[in-house]
Amino acid sequence: MTENYRKLVQDISGKLREFAKEIPETQQGFMQITKATHTEAALSKKHKELMAMSIAVAARCQGCLGFHAQACVKLGVTRAEFMEMLQVAIYMGGGPSVMTGAEALLAFEEFGGEKAAS
């Protein structure tokens, strides 16, 4: 588990810039997929981002947690929406996703997402 998702996102972003230089075709292909999925269509950007975060939790990808938590906050995901997404992720990912779900919530809060009422 990371203690600082902002730093993790920053560090990974630096490595992704290296990918763009050293394996440009692969990185360009991935970025095309990213761009194609980040559009408003039948599903909103917010719903797609919640889906991505749910998969990140089930797959236990820490880097994904950081990037998708940041995106969720930017898209105005509420705590209630985030918590319902975590229910689905835990349902699909089992016990380990409970732990990763807690990490996702840490990342969401670190990027400015709503915290639990005291």
Give Cα 104 distance to the centre of its chain. Answer: 8
3 has a pLDDT exceeding 80: no
> Domain for residue 115, yes or no?
no
- CATH label of the domain that carries residue 57: 1.20.1290.10
> Domain for residue 68, yes or no?
yes
Interatomic CA distance for residues 53 and 104, integer angstroms? 8
Enclosing domain of residue 93: 5-110
Write the pLDDT tens digit of every residue in 23-59. 999 999 999 999 999 999 999 999 999 999 999 999 9
Number of domains in the chain: 1
Element spanning 12, H or E: helix 5-22
Per-residue pLDDT, 2: 67
> Domain for residue 118, yes or no?
no
Write the pLDDT tens digit of every residue in 52-84. 999 999 999 999 999 999 999 999 999 999 999
Interatomic CA distance for residues 10 and 23, integer angstroms? 20
